[in-house]
Amino acid sequence: MGQARGAGRSFNQLAGTSLDRLAGISDGIFAVGMTLLVLGLAVPALSSSETNESGLARALAELGPNVLIYTMSFMTLGIFWVGQGTQLSQLVRSNRHFVWLQLAFLFAVTLVPFSTALLAHFPGLKLALVEYWLNIVLLGAMLLAGLEYGLRAHLFEETEQPDMARLMRGRILIAQSLYAFATALCLVFPTWVSIALIVLIQLNYVIAPRIPILRRF
């Protein structure tokens, strides 16, 4: 009887069913990605004539833009780590298709250090900002794809699905719309306006202020 049941199953039906392994690799990749971000903050190199208090102060001030972009990217990964963790916490089962969607999401996570370094080196160039934004788009798209597939495949807790689907879908779509608007401003204003607005959008998601209109976002 046991052999007959086993003979009717394929490897693909067994693959990707471990929720613990999925959560483990997700946390690991996020941890590495967040750690790699700081490598973009190099210790200032000073000549012998500049090695004094004022010289070091000037060099540290010049690192200001890099620190802002590093902070922005850390918040980016933090927001998506919370979002993915919330999605995974609602799972009651998994399968290989859902796992590969999550791996595609994690692929986008591994690109964030590169996108950050590119924007930090060329903060005034629109192309660097657009590339950074496209990385955020990919993160959001894969997180949404995982949600939609999980709903269709009935991988989530059935009693929580209606509210969960509405809240998560709305969160992703609104956030992506705000990021797109902020990035589009670089067509009219300097790229720093877009970067500052992206930081403000992220601070809203990080702090979650008790302001009715902002809590909708």
pLDDT of residue 55: 72
3-state secondary structure of 91: strand
Mean pLDDT of the chain: 86
Q: Which residues contact 191 (CB under 8 A, 6 or more apart)?
A: 123, 124, 125, 126, 128, 129
Q: Which residue has the higher pLDDT, 59 or 181?
A: 181
This prediction has a pTM of 0.85
DSSP 153: T
Q: Which residue has the higher pLDDT, 171 or 54?
A: 171
